[in-house]
Amino acid sequence: MEPAGTIIPRPTLRAWSTWAGRLLLSLVLLWFALRQVPPASLRAALGQADPLWSALSVLVYLAGLVVFESLRLAASARMLEEYQPGPALWLTLFVESRTFLYLLPSGMGQEGYLWWKLRKHGWDHSSCGFLVLAVRVTGLACWGLAMARALGSPRFQSACRGLLFGPMGAPAAWVLLGAALLVLSLALPEVLKRMGRLTRHRHVPGPWAGLLAATGGAMVCAALSFQLAARAFGLPFSLDQAAGCLTLLYIGMALPISLAGFGLQEGILLLVGRGLGLASGPILGLSCLLHLQRLIPSLLGMAVLFFQRDR
């Protein structure tokens, strides 16, 4: 028992209040999204979900995530004059880092863990920062281009009208955004060097191309797993529409207003699904399966951490 008058450290109170605030906002968003949806429709959708398509969607998601995200990290690292972990170590680092994905907003918990682990391997702070920025900027660029392709469908563009306002509802805006971010990702080493924020860069073009290829592979697997999950509930999402929905979800979950996307994801999917003329029950079932897809890697990373601690 703590002595009388003990004061809880301020960072602990701040951390708990942040988590409580995000949980409260998630519950509010969830209530707002579900307030007009009969609970029986969700129960019926979950009961009728095809187990084969559901399992296949999870397997595709896990395979794409583990393989291509590890390759993205390895490709970014090859642009640096730093210790180069082998494929097995990159795989382990990535799986471990997924445990901390939702610890901080915008995935900063996962990136912070990678930063800490690479520092333990002798990496410079500037190199860690470059790795995080290169992976993130390249991913945003490719998802922006994927959104532009999805909005090329007038039906999907109309379904997103309640989420994308003004010029952001047009494909051209996303093409420009994606192209600008691609140029930035290519110029990032020189920009950081001129700012004095990067000291161990290697002038080799191959790794950047590898980063783009791995990012494309990760995106295709993510969109395919979304499409398979939708098929489990009888929802006819095309691959382009799946990629567009994922872009909206990733942008929304980057905002520090929900816990693991709960409430926010349901609101986005219901809004888009209704615009496409889809029933609410299966849309919510799809959302549950998407949450499960993201939960499994986090639990897997937690198991790896506990195994290493015991060993």
Alpha carbon 8 to chain centroid, angstroms: 33
**pLDDT value of position 199:** 87
- Dist. CA 308–CA 87, nearest whole Å: 18
Residues with pLDDT less than 50, the chain: 1-11
- Dist. CA 216–CA 211, nearest whole Å: 9
**pLDDT value of position 129:** 93
**pLDDT value of position 41:** 73
- Of 139, 137, 132, 133, nearest in space to 117 by CA: 132
**pTM of the entire structure?**
0.88
pLDDT tens digits along 161-202: 989 988 999 999 999 999 999 999 999 998 998 888 898 888
Neighbours of 211 (CB within 10 A): 25
Cβ atoms of residues 201 and 193 within 8 Å:
yes
**pLDDT value of position 7:** 41
Give the helix ranges, DSSP H, for the chain.
10-34, 39-48, 51-77, 87-97, 108-120, 125-151, 154-159, 171-194, 206-232, 239-254, 264-275, 280-310
